[in-house]
Chains A and B, each alone.
Chain A
C-alpha cells in the first residue's frame, strides 16, 4: 500500500454497494408485482374483431401495453398497424 493510498479519504463504501444492489432487485420485484389486468387479452380480441370488419385483420396488428408512470396514473398504450394497401373486405 502506497503512502498516497493511506491519505486517500474516498474509500469505496460497502453501504453504497448494498444500496445499489438492493435498488435493482427491489425495482425488479415491484415491476413484476404490477400484474396486467386480466381483461387485456379479451380487449385485444375485441379490437381485432372490429378491425376485421374493415380491413384484413392479423393478430400482430394490435399491440397493447399498460404502464404505471405514476402512483395515480396508468397509461394504456394501443398501437394498431394497418396494412399498407387499404383494400376493404
Chain B
C-alpha cells in the first residue's frame, strides 16, 4: 500500500510547499516511486517550486471532473524518473474537491504502484486543507520556531486526531512527524527563538527534521529546483536527512547548533 503523507501546518508561509517538493524529490532520488499532489486549488505553486510550470496541461480538478485521466495529468519530473506531480488548478473550483473524487485518485495512484503519495496542503483549516489531510496515514507538521506557527500546528494536531478518516473510523491514529523549518541556532542561543527542545516539549510529537534558515531555499525556488538537489547547502542536507528518517534510517540532527566562528573568520569577517 502507498504511504499517504500530508504536509500541513495550519499557518501559511511556513514552508509546506518547499518541504513537499524537497521531501518528494528526496524520496524519488532514493528510488521510491513518489507522487506529489498540490491541494491548494486556485493557488497553484508546487509546479513552480518543482520547475514544471510550463508543462502543466491537465490538473487535479480536470481529473476529478473526468475531463482527463490521471495518467494524462501526472507530470513526470525531469530530474527523477520516480517522481510524478499532480498540479492544482488555477480556477477557484473548490467544490470539485470531493471526498469520493480524492479517494478515487488516491486509490488509482496506489494501483499504479506508487510507494509514497505526498499531499501538499493549503494553509488554513478550510475544505482544501481538510481534504488534504482526511485520507492521510501520516502527517508532516511543518512548524516555524515562532508562536503563531506552533499554536496553529497544535490546532492541526487536534484536527488530525478528530477529523481524519483514521480518527472517524477508529483506526490506528495518523502518525505525526514534526518538521521544524527556518531554524536559526544563533538566535536560539541568544534566547530570541524557541529551541527544538522547547517546541518538542510543547507539541510532544516525534521529530522528523530541523531545516535551518538558509539562503539556499530562496535560491532553489528561484531556479525551480527543489532544495534537496543543492547537495552542498545546509538546508538541502537537512531535507535529505529528514527523508532518510522517513524511510526508517537513523540520522543524527545536523545544523541545530550555532556554528562557531573560526579565529580567521573573526579577524577577517565573513
Contact = CB atoms under 8 A, between A and B. Distances in A.
Interface of A: 11, 13-16, 18-19, 21-23, 25-26, 29-30, 33
B198 to A, nearest CB: 5
Contacts of A22: 147, 150-151, 194, 202
B192 A14 contact: yes
Contacts of A11: 191
Contacts of A29: 154-155, 158
B203 A13 contact: no
Nearest 8 interchain pairs by C-beta: A13-B191, A19-B198, A26-B154, A22-B202, A33-B158, A18-B147, A15-B191, A15-B194
B193 interface: yes
Given A29-B154, A29-B155, A23 B202 contact: yes
Interface SS of chain B: helix
Contacts of B162: 33
B154 A15 contact: no
Contact of A15 (B151, B155, B158, B193): B193
B161 interface: yes
B192 A15 contact: yes
Contacts of B202: 19, 22-23, 26
Given A18-B147, A22-B202, A26-B202, A13 B192 contact: yes
Question: Which of A14, A15, A33 neighbours the largest number of chain B CB atoms within 10 Å of its CB?
Answer: A15
Interface residues of B, number: 20
Contacts of A18: 146-147, 194, 198
Question: Which of A23, A26, A29 neighbours the largest number of chain B CB atoms within 10 Å of its CB?
Answer: A26
Interface of B: 146-147, 150-151, 154-155, 158, 161-162, 188, 190-195, 198, 201-203
Contacts of A33: 158, 161-162
Contacts of B151: 22, 25-26
A31 to B, nearest CB: 11
Contacts of B190: 13
A66 B147 CA distance: 31
A16 B191 contact: yes
B185 to A, nearest CB: 12
Given A29-B158, A33-B162, A15 B198 contact: yes
A19 B198 CA distance: 7
Contacts of B192: 13-15
22 contacts: A13-B191, A13-B192, A15-B188, A15-B191, A15-B192, A15-B193, A15-B194, A15-B195, A16-B191, A18-B146, A18-B147, A19-B194, A19-B198, A19-B202, A21-B147, A25-B151, A25-B154, A26-B151, A29-B154, A30-B154, A33-B161, A33-B162
Contacts of A21: 147
A16 B195 CA distance: 9
Contacts of A13: 190-192
